[in-house]
Each structure stands twice: as C-alpha cells, then as structure tokens.
Amino acid sequence: MTDSRHATAVTDMAPNPALKILLADEPEDPARDAQITELRLYAPATDRLKQIPSRVRQLKRLECLAMGPSVDPALVASIDETSVPPGVTALGVFTSGAAATWPRAVSLPHVIDLRTDGPLTFAHENFPNLQAVSLEPTRNGKNLDAALACQGLRELQLLSVPGHEVFQKSRHLPLAKLGLLGGKLETLQGIEALSQVEWLRLHNLRSLRSISAVKALTHLQELEIRYCKKIEDIACLADLPNLRRLQVLACGDLGLSRIKPFLEKLDQVMISASA
C-alpha cells in the first residue's frame, strides 16, 4: 500500500488524462509511436513492473518516462544506458516505497527531473544535471548528497526530512521550490538559509509545532500545509509579505481565524478540514 508521501511523489508526474493507453502486447504502430512524448509504464494489477518493453527504446520523441507504481527493484538494477531514450528529460521510478539501487555505470546526463517514491540509491555521476528531484533519503543520505551536488537544482521534494541540517546543506543552491513531506521536525529552524524559496510544501509533519522560521522566506508566494495538526504559531503567516496562495488541508484547529483579515487579501485560499 502506498502512503500519502508516496502518493504525492506519484502525483507530481501524473500523466495527461488525454493520453492514450497502450497495452504491452499491442501491435507496434510506427506512425503513432513517433508522436509519443510522454509515457507511463504500469504493472499488471497484481504484480510488479519487471521489465521495460524493448519498444520504449524506439520512441525517439519521448521526453517524459514514468515507471510504476510497483516497479520491481530488480528492474532498476538491470537498467542500462540504452533503456532510457536520450531525449528523456523527466524520469519517474516508482517502487511503492521499496528500496532500489541505480546501476553505478549508468549515467543519464539528459535527465533534469527525477521523481521517486522510495529510497533509490544513486550517485551524482548517475544524474549530474538535475534541476528537480523528489526522493526518500537513504539511511546514509548518499542519494540526497548526490542530488545536492547538482548546482542547478531548483526544486527539492523530500519524502522524509532527515533533520534541520538539510537547510544548511542546500543553501548554496538556487532552490525555488521546497517540499518537506514527512519526518520528525518539531520546528523549521534553519530554513532561514533558504530565503529565496518561492513555493513551500509542509506535508505529514506530525510533530511540527513551530513554523515561525518561515517569516524569513521573504520571496514565498505559495504555501501548502497538509496533515500538520500540532502547529501552534500559524499566525506568523501574516508576516509573509509576498504570499499569494495558501492551502491548509486536514490540519484540524490551528487558529486560522486569528489571521482572517490577512487571508482575505490573498489571491487564493483553500482550507479543508482545518480552522
């Protein structure tokens, strides 16, 4: 079963609902296949995805490839440099939370957007040019370190936040989007180092009590807060000079009524199962 953190990662690469569904055993159609730019590979309903169909390698215009959910870790280990077409810039590897290891010798410098929903072990050399990444840090944190070594990284989504040190480790990057989607943080102390962030997600931080540090995010325009029921200082949002859009979902009674005049000035407010 996929928990809400993993569902968020998968949703970030949700396929276009207008896309045609192709069955694995469907006859090839060169004219049709030549037009495919986005592809999602699904496993049979009761099984894991165990192989990448060979025809995928022939999709010359493919730009976005998402695999899973339920990718077999053995499939990840078997990937070679011909498995992913060279035009692919966005790659999703969704194992439904299972650990997997990217082959050490396989480098995909053309991939700039990587989405995962489980602890995928990889090195900086495997994905040296990432601009956006969603990941579950491994126990040793090496995959997070590999991502943070990408100097052009503008979006970081962490399915589990290892600790406050991640803010200092990220301060050299041009991050505009940050997602803290799980973990045991009680405060956001240290996030002040990322004052350039424009879009922030706080999801599933069930121990989070103080968010006052966000006042330092003077460029913040959009904020999502979900499943964070212990926040005690929600009124600090009124100190954000450039906030335009706010979502607060399934957070219970946080005291939002105290900043009603501020909320009424925002361009967009969505509040559900929260007050």
Q: Specify the pLDDT at position 1.
A: 34
Give the CATH number of domain 4-19+27-274.
Answer: 3.80.10.10
The structural domains of the chain, with segments of one domain joined by +, span 4-19+27-274
Whether the ω angle into residue 103 lies within 30 degrees of 0, i.e. cis, is no
For the entire predicted model, the pTM comes to 0.92
| CA distance linking residue 182 with residue 180, whole number of Å | 6
As beta bridge partners, residue 120 has 100
Each residue of 108-166: pLDDT tens digit? 999 999 999 999 999 999 999 999 999 999 999 999 999 999 999 999 999 999 999 99
| Residue 2 banded pLDDT, cuts 50, 70, 90 | very low
Give the tens place of pLDDT for each residue, 8-58.
Answer: 555 566 656 556 666 666 777 888 888 899 999 988 778 899 999 888 988
3-state secondary structure of 244: coil
